[in-house]
Amino acid sequence: MNNAGIAIRGAIEETSEDEWDRIMAINMKGVFLGTKYAIPAMRRVGGGSIINISSGAGIAPAPDTSAAYAATKGGVRLFTKATAVQHAKDHIRCNSVHPGPIDTPMVRGPQTDAARLAALQERVPMGRLGSAEEVAYGVLYLASDEASFVTGSELVIDGGRTAQ
């Protein structure tokens, strides 16, 4: 599972080149390297499951989502599909998980005030933040043999946010 990720805030013209490079290195290059080095090991044992954590922002960014963050998570989404197609013959499955607002330190960071948190929850039809455990159960399914015919898919765990 490739799960490293950071978020930045700000409009395109407020994003520095250094911020852009940093988020690309962590959110995209990290997924690439994790996948690149997992494939040979999985091939040697006859297959496996790669799960890349993307974001609902990789499907439908909210108006205040930074373009840099959305670009990385959209990139993870398509990288996952390309990996799935290229390595299905190796019995390697690759899927992406797209959490919405999840009650984590990244969402509740030091820059998050009560008004921003309330606005996040208002965008979710279920009216609440998700939990890390809810995302973990989706990952567990994708890692299991019960998902043996699932590859190149997007599992959205967002309380309905991207369905709007």
Kindly list the domain boundaries of the chain, sorted by start residue.
Answer: 12-163
123 closest CA partner among 69, 74, 63: 63
This prediction's pTM = 0.94
156 closest CA partner among 66, 145, 29, 134: 134
pLDDT bin (cut points 50, 70, 90) of residue 110 is low
12-163 placed in CATH 3.40.50.720: yes
Residue-wise pLDDT for 67-92, tens only, equals: 999 999 999 999 999 999 999 999 99
Residue-wise pLDDT for 33-69, tens only, equals: 999 999 999 999 999 999 999 999 999 998 889 999 9
Residue-wise pLDDT for 116-127, tens only, equals: 888 889 999 999
User: How many angstroms separate the CA atoms of 32 and 112, rounded?
Assistant: 30
- Annotated active-site positions, please? 69
Decide if pLDDT at 7 tops 70: yes
Residues 6 or more apart in contact with residue 133 via CB below 8 angstroms: none
